[in-house]
Amino acid sequence: MHSGERKVGNGSSGAIAHRLAAKQQEISVTEFFEKNKHILGFDSRSKSLIMGIKEATDNALDACEEADIPPEITVTLERMEDEVFCICVEDNGPGIVHKMMPNVFGRLLYGSRFHALRQSRGQQGIGISATVMYGNITTGRPARIMSKIEGDDAVSWRMDIFIDTKTNRPIVTNDEAFVWEGKDHGTSIRYYIKGRYITGKQSVFEYLKNTAIVNPHAMITYRDPDGKTFVFERATETMPPKSKEIKPHPEGMEIGDLQKYASATQQKTVRAFLKNDFSRITDRIADEILSRAGVSGEGKPPKLTREDCKGIIDAIAAVKIMAPPTDCLSPIGETLIKKGLMHVLEGLRPDYYATPVTRAPKAANGNPFVVEAGIVYGGDIPSDGPVAILRFANRVPLLYQQGACAITKAVESVDWRRYGLEQRGGRGIPYGPAIILVHIASTKVPFTSEGKEAVANLPEIQNEICLALRLCARNLKGHLNKMERKSKTEAKFRIVRELLPDMAGKVSEMLDRPRPDLTGTISKIMNVVWIDSRVKKEGKKKVSVLYTVYNYTTQERTLRLHAKLPKECVNLSLFTDDRFLDMNDEGKVSWEISSLPPSRTAEISFELSGELADTFSPEDVYVSGINPIIVMGAEGLPGDWGIKGLEILETDTDIEEEEQTEDTEEAEDLGDE
């Protein structure tokens, strides 16, 4: 044997195997994340500040909402020494039971929401304990927790917590009762962390500002390291609806998911398993699925083979199943999205808030989700750069990894040029004076990492985002087209109504003849029904609305006006108008103006009062009973409204057909030119 050769034999390889086996040991989850802090989002000093505040704020909002308490959250950021900050987040929630405080803040993967199929900000039981762990590691100081439960004999508890990374267990010191003056109930966490304070788009201020947009029911106070205090006032007293726990929805489920559910079920038969362990499965649907899959409904669920599960999954995809129930989700809603945007972005004085869109619920991997979108346009929003994209998941802002997020991918895939925004090549983030908001509410948001910074590119979710954006963009396009037409017509109006009478007056003087009545002539030239909408705001909780209809045509006109009002803000003055017809449960109102003579006007006025009164957009008015081509200031009624409510196009087919029509009309216009 040559000296450079290695001897390979059973003895040497066996010894190596035994040595390797002796080194193998279980790794604590805390120890794993201690060595992989970047997975949790603690991958830079500036980002670490935000992540800690984010986790504490999310927990505070969840706790307050579960207790039906309007959230009041105070975030204090204090600079202690070089790159060391003291962060304190205090809320007015229900508090935490004393014996549970160490586990909540001192153990990773400990929580109550991981197995619950309902919407919540926290899902994994990692966030706040990971923040405590990171603070322990970077500064060597414990986190101080204080909590008080209402009616608990005015006794509060406080303790200092370290996390033992070897055992994933809390180390508690200074555990004591005390009197928390001026506090009825709530929780406070104070911890020290190494970080870097920055301003700009990815700052603590921006995170809290965006949080206030999608949580308009919360009041958030922020004290920065420079001693400045910012208060994001509560925009509404309306609490979001509580999400209820549901069973998994079968749509989008994988084979492994079905096998897991089948092995753990308490049901005796496969038919009962499908019907009782999943939502929206009836006896008829269960039988149809089993028939298509060729699987007996009387068999035992744990004995389902892989082929059986594959057949059931394929059958589920072919059977029409109702959408998931919505009570497991708590979407913001169109009105409150607009209220939050108006409340926080009022300094930018936007010209228009495109009517927000809330899509019908869908499911991805068996988890129900809802997509919401809104667009803000004009005002002081910069017009020379890419539009700002506000990304949210379960009411939580997403500030990082924008390029890797399904929301951004969906925004880039829409052809924004047809909706009035500049977009180079028809793909990518558009340019213009606009802000795009997208919110995903789900029982389990598919994040790309435990840091919850970006949404994974699941086809079902990206498709729904695209549809919501296109629907919202259509509202913006309608507004821009209306403003353009109105501007051109106003110029024509000025010429006809001001210059023509002046010319007639001068000619009459020169010829020494009576000044002619040009009313009929003006109507004949204009040939439009002009609808002018005006709103007078008296503070943020009262507005007066006036619609004036001018008949600049040569014949009597009869038409109906339609608008959607915040129903809870409607004043009695709405119903006393003789032209009022009906208002449905959604606040959609109809008026009728009968036999309006040429060159005459009609007025409709009413008042709105309440915290959502200022969300009403008087320019979002529609007409029916008249050819919308001759109407200026209102769009034709889209869909079959009547007393059922305004139906907005919701499907791919509807949108594509209308866009094809628009393309044809544009081609005809170019041909005419």
Q: Where in the chain is the domain with CATH 2.60.40.1170?
A: 517-672
Average pLDDT over residues 635-643: 64
Q: Collapse the DSSP code of 349 into the 3-class scheme (helix H, G, I; strand E, B; otherwise coil) and give the result.
A: coil
| Fold of the CATH domain 517-672 | Immunoglobulin-like (2.60.40)
| Fold of the CATH domain 255-318 | Helicase, Ruva Protein; domain 3 (1.10.8)
**Residue 229, CB-side half-sphere exposure with 13 Å CA sphere:** 5
Would you state the structure tokens that stand for residue 329, as one six-digit string? 């989700």
401 pLDDT higher than 50 = yes
Instruction: Give the pLDDT confidence of 408-439 residue by residue, as tens digits.
Output: 999 999 999 988 889 887 788 999 999 999 99
Tell me, rounded to whole angstroms, the distance of Cα 191 from its chain centroid: 30
CA distance 338 to 612: 9
CA distance 162 to 105: 9
116 pLDDT higher than 70 = no
Would you state the structure tokens that stand for residue 361, as one six-digit string? 């619920």
Q: Where in the chain is the domain with CATH 3.30.230.10?
A: 335-475
559 pLDDT higher than 60 = yes
Instruction: Give the pLDDT confidence of 305-325 residue by residue, as tens digits.
Output: 999 999 999 998 888 888 777
Say if residues 449 and 39 touch (Cβ distance below 8 Å): yes
Q: Which helix (H) or strand (E) holds 292?
A: helix 283-293
Q: Where in the chain is the domain with CATH 1.10.8.50?
A: 255-318
Position 73 scores a pLDDT of 94
92 pLDDT higher than 90 = yes
Quote the mean pLDDT of the chain: 82
pLDDT more than 70, % of the chain: 86
CA distance 209 to 220: 9
Average pLDDT over residues 76-88: 90
pLDDT band at 27; cut points 50, 70, 90: low
CA distance 578 to 584: 18
CATH number of the domain at 29-232, out of 3.30.565.10, 3.40.50.10800, 3.40.50.880, 3.90.550.10? 3.30.565.10
Q: Bridge partners of 544?
A: 536, 607
The CATH architecture that domain 335-475 belongs to is 2-Layer Sandwich (3.30)
Would you state the structure tokens that stand for residue 107, as one six-digit string? 């153990």
| Closest CA relative to residue 62, chosen from 105, 113, 24 | 113
Residue type, 380: D
331 pLDDT higher than 70 = yes
Query: What is the β-pairing status of strands 72-81 and 219-223?
Result: parallel
Distances (CA, A) of 41 to 393, 488, 619: 16, 52, 44
pLDDT band at 104; cut points 50, 70, 90: confident
652 pLDDT higher than 90 = no
Position 218 scores a pLDDT of 92
Instruction: Give the pLDDT confidence of 351-388 residue by residue, as tens digits.
Output: 888 878 888 888 777 678 899 999 999 888 988 889 99
Position 599 scores a pLDDT of 84
121-130, 209-218, 348-357, range with greatest mean pLDDT: 209-218
Average pLDDT over residues 37-65: 81
Q: Note the pTM of the prediction, 2 decimals.
A: 0.74
